[in-house]
């Protein structure tokens, strides 16, 4: 937090300085900025890089940093109106992954988001892994479309009966999900999803020209009887699900239903796309086996990632599939991006092969359990009318049903006005009328005291009528 505050202070000071200077004027040197503002060289470099990205300054190696020309000095704005006609009515629906309330204010308590706070990330282990990977003589060579064999072996080892040949390395879980949907389902076709579900899946499906069709869940996960009806009524050829620590509800598909779901899909001649993003985010209890382990006919296409348990920018994931669908997936990979950057694959392999990785996962499990317990107790105490259901045994979120008459978007807006960011539940529903729900993250905040303060502010809103739309 202190590094972020220092960067923001320097950024504001330099913007004030830029307003007084003319285009082409030279800014103070990095050494002068360090001495004048008492900041580190890293902070100066970061702030200058941000100003350059914004187009406010121009850096000239060996010479210095200069004020960029103003917009009015760059000639008339380009006329891009012709693009509206050329693009026709095609569009990418980013609604499910776009917050209609806008950016989160600086300094707000983050009870939103799907990644670990920096204090929970294995930062030192990541840095060491990346340094070791960069020293490899072949680090910058091309790799196969499938990915590094040793890294594929790591993912294969996590699922019984899976071999490295069944694994395709991807640039994170979202990329894997997008590839799987496009490889399996034809444009214009339906794809079945749990209700509620992960907004990124809805966005990826719609971007591929697919029509998400919701299938209801209960406390034990998706209902197999309704899943069978949905397959019969729609003719869908794929069902996307998160059987373990579901996002957003945190539910786990019951042991009895796990086999039933696969059998229902197999009978319909369809695939199950199993998103197992949270397998390494358990809170210390037993974690059920993935569906793919008990699948022998290639019904299950399995998607996983190292991003959630490590850090947002470790964009390494994997797809496990068998049969012709794997050939289709490899074809998608070849036309999309050829292969995932080798240095990142090497760094991921170094990370998960080190003793530090196991230590991190144990520490993370304990930290998530503590945060989940503390936030659950605080929200229950501060907001007694909010229904938290059964606390999750894994994952990063609490799923809360608001009292009758509440509007989730209005609650989220009121919370943000009080510097608490929460996620409204509307965007987790594919087509049905959304239940008034909130998703509260317990891994994105700085620490437990910040979580408790966030719950206190939400309780104040609830007590003063801030939950009614």
**Which CATH number covers residue 230?**
3.40.640.10
Q: 240 and 341: one domain?
A: yes
Identify the band that residue 330 occupies on the pLDDT scale cut at 50, 70 and 90. Answer: very high
Q: Is residue 94 part of a domain?
A: no
Burial of 286 (0-12, 13-18, 19+ CB in 10 A): exposed
Q: Domain boundary at 334, 354, 374, which?
A: 354
Terminal alpha carbon distance of the chain: 34
Beta-sheet strand order (sheet of 423-424): 397-401, 437-441, 423-424
Q: Which of 135, 124, 122, 123 shows the shortest CA–CA distance to 343?
A: 135
Identify the band that residue 1 occupies on the pLDDT scale cut at 50, 70 and 90. Answer: very low
Task: Please give the pLDDT value at position 68.
Answer: 87
Q: Is residue 285 part of a domain?
A: yes
Q: How many domains does the chain have?
A: 3
pLDDT digits (tens, 9 = 90+) for 441-452: 999 999 999 999
CATH for 425: 3.90.1150.10
pLDDT digits (tens, 9 = 90+) for 155-180: 998 777 888 999 999 999 999 999 99
CA distance 208 to 145: 22
Q: 142 and 250: one domain?
A: yes
Identify the band that residue 151 occupies on the pLDDT scale cut at 50, 70 and 90. Answer: very high
- Give the CA angle between residues 30, 124, 394 to the nearest 5°: 125
Q: 368 and 318: one domain?
A: no
Domain span at residue 346 reads 123-354
Q: 163 and 233: one domain?
A: yes
Q: Which of 438, 435, 384, 432 shows the shortest CA–CA distance to 411?
A: 438
Identify the band that residue 62 occupies on the pLDDT scale cut at 50, 70 and 90. Answer: confident
CA distance 323 to 334: 18
Q: 216 and 335: one domain?
A: yes
Q: Is residue 239 part of a domain?
A: yes
Q: Which residues pair with 170 in a beta bridge?
A: 317
CA distance 140 to 135: 10
Q: 181 and 263: one domain?
A: yes
- Give the long-range contacts of residues 320-328, CB within 8 A, separation 24 or more: 320/155, 320/156, 320/159, 320/162, 320/166, 320/167, 320/168, 320/292, 321/166, 321/168, 321/180, 322/166, 322/298, 323/298, 325/183, 325/184, 325/271, 325/298, 325/301, 326/166, 326/168, 328/183, 328/184
Q: 166 and 178: one domain?
A: yes
Identify the band that residue 2 occupies on the pLDDT scale cut at 50, 70 and 90. Answer: very low
Q: What are the C-alpha distances in Å from 132 to residues 65, 136, 170? A: 33, 7, 21
Identify the band that residue 468 occupies on the pLDDT scale cut at 50, 70 and 90. Answer: very low
Q: 246 and 329: one domain?
A: yes
Q: 147 and 257: one domain?
A: yes
pTM: 0.82
Q: 302 and 394: one domain?
A: no
Q: 161 and 276: one domain?
A: yes
Q: Domain boundary at 354, 377, 396, which?
A: 354
Question: Helices H, strands E: what count in the chain?
Answer: 15, 15
Q: 195 and 275: one domain?
A: yes
């Amino acid at each position: 937090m202190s590094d972020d505050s220092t960067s923001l202070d320097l950024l504001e000071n330099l913007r004030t300085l830029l307003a007084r200077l003319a285009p082409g004027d030279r800014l103070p040197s990095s050494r002068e900025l360090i001495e004048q503002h008492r900041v580190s060289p890293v902070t100066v470099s970061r702030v200058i890089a941000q100003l350059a990205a914004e187009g406010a300054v121009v850096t000239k190696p060996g010479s210095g940093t200069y004020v960029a020309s103003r917009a009015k000095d760059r000639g008339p704005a380009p006329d891009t109106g012709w693009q509206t006609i050329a693009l026709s009515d095609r569009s990418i629906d980013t609604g499910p992954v776009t917050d209609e309330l806008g950016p989160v204010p600086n300094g707000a308590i983050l009870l939103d988001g799907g990644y670990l706070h920096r204090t929970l990330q294995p930062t030192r282990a990541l840095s060491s892994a990346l340094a070791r990977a960069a020293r490899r003589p072949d680090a910058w060579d091309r790799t196969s479309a499938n990915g590094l064999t040793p890294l594929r072996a790591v993912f294969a080892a996590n699922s019984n009966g899976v071999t490295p040949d069944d694994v395709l390395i991807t640039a994170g879980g979202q990329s894997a999900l997008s590839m799987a949907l496009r490889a399996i389902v034809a444009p214009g076709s339906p794809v079945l999803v749990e209700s509620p579900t992960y907004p990124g899946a809805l966005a990826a499906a719609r971007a591929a020209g697919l029509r998400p069709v919701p299938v209801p869940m209960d406390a034990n996960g998706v209902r197999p009887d309704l899943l069978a009806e949905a397959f019969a009524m729609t003719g869908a050829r794929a069902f996307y699900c998160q059987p373990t620590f579901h996002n957003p509800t945190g539910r786990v598909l019951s042991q009895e239903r796990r086999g039933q779901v696969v059998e229902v899909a197999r009978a319909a001649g369809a695939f199950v796309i199993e998103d197992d993003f949270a397998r390494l985010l358990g809170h210390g209890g037993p974690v059920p086996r993935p569906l793919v382990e008990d699948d022998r006919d290639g019904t299950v296409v399995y998607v996983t990632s190292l991003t959630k348990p490590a850090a947002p920018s470790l964009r390494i994931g994997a797809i496990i599939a068998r049969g012709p669908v794997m050939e289709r997936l490899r074809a998608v990979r070849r036309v999309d991006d050829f292969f995932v950057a080798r240095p990142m694959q090497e760094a991921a392999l170094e990370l998960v092969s080190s003793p530090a990785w196991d230590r991190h996962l144990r520490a993370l499990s304990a930290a998530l359990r503590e945060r989940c317990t503390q936030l659950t107790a605080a929200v229950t105490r501060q907001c007694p009318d909010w229904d938290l259901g059964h606390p999750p045994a894994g994952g990063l979120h609490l799923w809360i049903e608001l009292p009758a008459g509440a509007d989730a978007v209005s609650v989220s807006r009121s919370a943000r006005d009080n510097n608490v960011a929460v996620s409204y539940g509307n965007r987790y529903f594919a087509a049905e009328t959304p239940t008034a729900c909130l998703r509260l993250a317990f891994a994105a905040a700085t620490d437990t005291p910040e979580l408790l303060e966030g719950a206190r502010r939400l309780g104040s809103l609830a007590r003063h009528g801030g939950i009614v739309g």
